[in-house]
Amino acid sequence: MKEISLKDYAARKGVTRQAIIKAINSGRLSKSVIKKGKLIYLDEELANAEYEINTNKEKSRKHDNIGEDFVKGIQGGDQKNVAMAARNALITYKAKIAQLEYNERMGLLVEAQKVRDEMFKTGRVLRDSLLNIADRLGPELVGITDPKIIHKKIKDEIIFTLVGFDKDMYDDGINLG
């Protein structure tokens, strides 16, 4: 009599732990159940016999990554494959880091904080330029009573400010490095 946890038994059968619990609750596995307080174990040999007899294999779903190979890899039976997978993961990680460093040096990537700081400064300059329109136009508009002329002067000043801002941005460039 070999006691086995539900998780390990499920892995050996190639199903989920929930499928084994469902089999216990439905009575398909009953004689093989061993309860120790709140923990439940199975007598592996008896559970195998019960499972084969009481389970309709056509209804059960197999999981590709769970089964004998998976258990063997976990238990160290196939160390070569585990080591190879770990080495491949490390090589892939190093290659991705090297690609990121290369892209950063080539100027294709920049630090997010630098972008945030530069955008904040740019927004601040634009805001200040727009807020200064009132100071620049106030004295000119005092004596004008025609709404069309007032509208045109305000619109022209806004366009002048935005075009000047745009021109300054392209002439100076955004400094991220």
For 37-87, write each residue's pLDDT tens digit. Answer: 888 999 988 998 888 888 876 665 554 444 555 555 555 556 677 788 888
Last residue of a domain, one of 74, 90, 123: 74
- The model's pTM is 0.39
State the virtual CA torsion across 89, 90, 93, 97 in degrees, nearest 10.
Answer: -170
Same domain membership, residue 43 and residue 30: yes
Domain around 131 = 112-172
- Assess whether 84 and 58 both reside in one domain: no
Residue 21 lies in a domain: yes
Is residue 88 domain-shared with residue 61, that is, in the same domain?
no
